[in-house]
């Protein structure tokens, strides 16, 4: 007997399918899929959330000097003449950043092995590259999802049966973050 569901696919196709569905679940909060897939997704997603809960406060805040280019009203960089050359005018600003401790960095890299990168496209710019932005799902796990489940010991997802699919009769379910 196998230790996992094979889902009628080769190993590479199965890993890609599970990665994409876990990514969609964390990005959207819920997805509709078959029962067998949902049971496989649940283990992966709950592992990622448990890792995020464990490492959510494991960082230190560091103050760094950041270089900021001065800009005019049109958003172009202001240039000043220095030694006969035009160079951009620069000012330095103190900025606080979160610096991951080693165990949180390791957790972040483990999550990145599973999650695909996601791009958000605004409705008015559909089909165009302009206006798209990359969503950092690992940061979402640490900042939004982990604090929600900090007091909970497992059981981060729920599977609700919807009914049989019309085409092949497979049991469809809704898997969602609780």
Instruction: Compute the distance between CA of residue 25 and CA of residue 175 in angstroms, rounded to an integer.
Output: 8
Show the low-confidence residues of the chain (pLDDT under 50): none
Q: Domain-by-domain residue ranges, the chain?
A: 11-56+101-177, 59-99
Q: What pLDDT is stored for residue 146 in this prediction? A: 96
Q: What pLDDT is stored for residue 131 in this prediction? A: 76
Q: What pLDDT is stored for residue 84 in this prediction? A: 86
Superfamily for 11-56+101-177? Ribosomal protein L17 (3.90.1030.10)
Q: What pLDDT is stored for residue 1 in this prediction? A: 60
Q: What pLDDT is stored for residue 22 in this prediction? A: 97
108-116 LR contacts (CB < 8 Å, sep 24+): 108/138, 108/142, 110/51, 111/48, 111/51, 111/52, 111/137, 111/138, 111/141, 112/138, 114/19, 114/22, 114/23, 114/44, 114/48, 115/19, 115/22, 115/23, 115/26, 115/48, 116/19, 116/20, 116/23
């Amino acid at each position: 007997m196998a230790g996992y569901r094979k889902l009628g696919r080769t190993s590479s196709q199965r890993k890609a399918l599970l990665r994409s569905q876990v990514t969609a679940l964390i990005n959207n909060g819920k997805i509709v899929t078959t029962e067998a897939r949902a049971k496989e997704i649940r283990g992966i997603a709950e592992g990622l959330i448990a890792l995020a809960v464990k490492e959510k406060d494991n960082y230190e805040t560091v103050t760094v000097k950041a270089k900021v280019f001065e800009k005019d009203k049109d958003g172009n960089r202001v240039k000043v003449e220095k030694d006969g050359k035009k160079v951009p005018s620069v000012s330095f600003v103190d900025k606080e950043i979160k610096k991951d401790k080693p165990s949180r960095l390791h957790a972040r890299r483990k999550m990145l092995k599973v999650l695909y990168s996601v791009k958000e496209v605004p409705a008015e710019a559909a089909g165009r590259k302009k206006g798209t932005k990359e969503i950092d799902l690992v940061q979402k796990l640490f900042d939004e999802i982990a604090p929600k489940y900090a007091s909970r010991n497992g059981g981060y997802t729920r599977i609700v049966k919807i009914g049989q699919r019309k085409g092949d009769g497979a049991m469809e379910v809704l898997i969602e973050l609780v």
